[in-house]
C-alpha cells in the first residue's frame, strides 16, 4: 500500500470505531438526528417530503439553491454515503452548498432508507423516486429537466451508479452525468484476501463485509446479486451517461472503481478517472481544509460544470 499523502498523515492519531451491527446501530441513531447548520445568507434551503416508491413511505429531500440563481438552472441529485448503514443529507451540507454556490445550480440531497432494516433495493427506489419528483416538479423547482446530474460519495456513489443503470433500463428521467466519489460498487471485493490494509483508514474489509451483507440480506459474493445493488455486476455498461470517478490509492474501493471506469470507457461511455495518491476512503471528511481535498473537490466541480454547462 502506498504511503499516506503528507497532508493526511494525522489520520493515524484519530480513533476509528469498527463497523459492526452494534456500532452501526448507534451511529445510525446519531446521524438520524443530525440537523442542518445555519442557512448561508446567499442560499435558500428547503426541506421537502415527496412521494416515495409505490407502497413505500414518502422520501425526504433537502433543496439547496443560490438566491442569485436564474429562473432555471441545471440540477444535481446528491446521495449521501454511509455504507448503506448510516447517513443523512446534513452530513454533506457543506458540499451541497458548495456545489450550488460555485456552479449556480440547484442541489437536491435525498434521505433514503438504510440497511439492514431496509435491504436493497429500498434505498435505490427512494433515490429514483426523488429523481422522478425533480423531473416532474422542474417548473416549480426552477430546474432544467434535461440537465440533471446524479452523484454521491461511497455508498451514495454506488447508488448514483445504480440509478444510472435503473434509469437506462426503466425509462423516465435520464441523468446527463454521474459523479461518483470513491463509489461502493462491487460486493465481491469483500471476498478478497490479498488486499494490503496498511495505510488504509476509515473503511476496512470487515466493515465492507458487514455492510454488503446488511444491504444484500445474504453473504457478499453470492450468485445472482443484482447490478442495482452492486453496479459492478452489470455486464453491459453501454448507453449510460458520461461519468467522473474519483478515488485514492489507499482506498479499499480503488481497484473496483478503476475497473469500473475502464469498463465504462470500453463500453463507449466517457469516464474521467481522478486518482489521489496516498488518499484513503472518505479522506475529504476529516481533512476538508487541506490542499489535497480542495484539489479533489475542484476536480468534481469542474466535471459537473463541463457536463451541466456544455456550451459555456
Question: Can you give the pLDDT of all 312 residues of the chain as single tens digits?
Answer: 899 999 999 998 776 666 666 666 656 666 666 666 777 899 999 999 999 999 999 999 999 999 999 999 999 999 999 999 999 999 999 999 999 999 999 999 999 999 999 999 999 999 999 999 999 999 999 999 999 999 999 999 999 999 999 999 998 899 999 999 999 999 999 999 999 999 999 999 999 999 999 999 999 999 999 999 999 999 999 999 999 999 999 999 999 999 999 999 999 999 999 999 999 999 999 999 999 999 999 999 999 999 999 987
In this structure, what C-alpha cell is assigned to residue 188?
Answer: 465481491
Q: Report the DSSP beta bridge partners of residue 185.
A: none
Q: Is 128 a catalytic residue?
A: no
Q: Which of the residues 96, 118, 126, 154 is marked catalytic?
A: 154
Question: Among the options 5, 80, 88, 281, which is catalytic?
Answer: 281
Q: Is 274 among the catalytic positions?
A: no
Question: How far is residue 213's CA from residue 239's CA, in Å, rounded to a whole number?
Answer: 30
Residue tagged active-site, from 186, 187, 251, 257: 251
Active site residue 84: no
Q: What is the pLDDT of residue 33?
A: 65
pTM score, two decimals? 0.95
* Full set of structural domains in the chain with CATH: 6-33+43-308 (3.40.50.1820)
Amino acid at each position: 500500500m502506498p504511503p499516506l499523502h503528507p497532508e493526511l498523515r494525522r489520520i493515524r492519531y484519530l480513533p476509528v470505531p469498527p463497523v459492526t451491527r452494534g456500532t452501526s446501530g448507534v451511529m445510525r441513531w446519531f446521524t438520524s438526528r443530525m440537523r442542518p447548520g445555519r442557512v448561508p445568507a446567499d442560499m435558500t434551503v428547503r426541506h421537502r417530503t415527496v412521494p416515495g416508491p409505490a407502497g413505500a413511505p414518502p422520501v425526504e429531500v433537502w433543496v439547496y439553491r443560490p438566491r442569485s440563481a436564474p429562473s432555471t438552472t441545471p440540477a444535481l441529485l446528491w446521495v449521501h454515503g454511509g455504507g448503506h448503514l448510516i447517513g443523512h443529507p446534513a452530513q454533506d451540507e457543506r458540499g451541497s452548498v458548495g456545489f450550488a454556490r460555485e456552479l449556480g445550480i440547484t442541489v437536491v440531497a435525498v434521505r433514503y432508507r438504510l440497511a439492514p432494516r431496509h435491504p436493497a433495493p429500498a434505498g435505490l427506489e427512494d433515490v429514483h423516486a426523488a429523481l422522478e419528483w425533480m423531473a416532474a416538479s422542474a417548473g416549480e423547482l426552477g430546474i432544467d429537466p434535461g440537465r440533471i446530474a446524479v452523484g454521491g460519495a461511497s455508498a451514495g456513489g454506488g447508488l448514483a451508479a445504480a440509478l444510472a443503470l435503473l434509469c437506462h433500463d426503466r425509462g423516465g428521467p435520464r441523468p446527463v452525468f454521474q459523479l461518483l466519489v470513491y463509489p461502493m460498487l462491487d460486493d465481491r471485493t469483500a471476498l478478497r484476501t490479498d488486499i494490503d490494509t496498511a495505510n488504509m483508514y476509515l473503511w476496512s474489509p470487515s466493515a465492507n463485509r458487514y455492510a454488503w451483507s446488511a444491504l444484500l440480506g445474504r453473504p457478499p459474493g453470492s450468485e445472482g446479486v443484482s447490478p442495482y445493488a452492486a453496479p459492478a455486476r452489470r455486464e453491459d455498461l453501454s448507453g449510460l451517461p458520461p461519468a467522473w470517478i474519483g478515488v485514492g490509492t489507499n482506498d479499499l474501493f480503488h481497484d473496483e472503481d478503476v475497473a469500473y471506469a475502464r469498463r465504462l470507457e470500453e463500453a463507449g461511455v466517457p469516464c474521467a478517472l481522478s486518482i489521489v495518491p496516498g488518499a484513503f476512503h472518505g479522506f475529504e471528511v476529516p481533512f476538508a481544509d487541506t490542499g489535497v481535498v480542495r484539489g479533489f473537490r475542484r476536480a468534481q466541480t469542474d466535471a459537473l460544470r463541463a457536463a451541466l454547462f456544455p456550451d459555456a
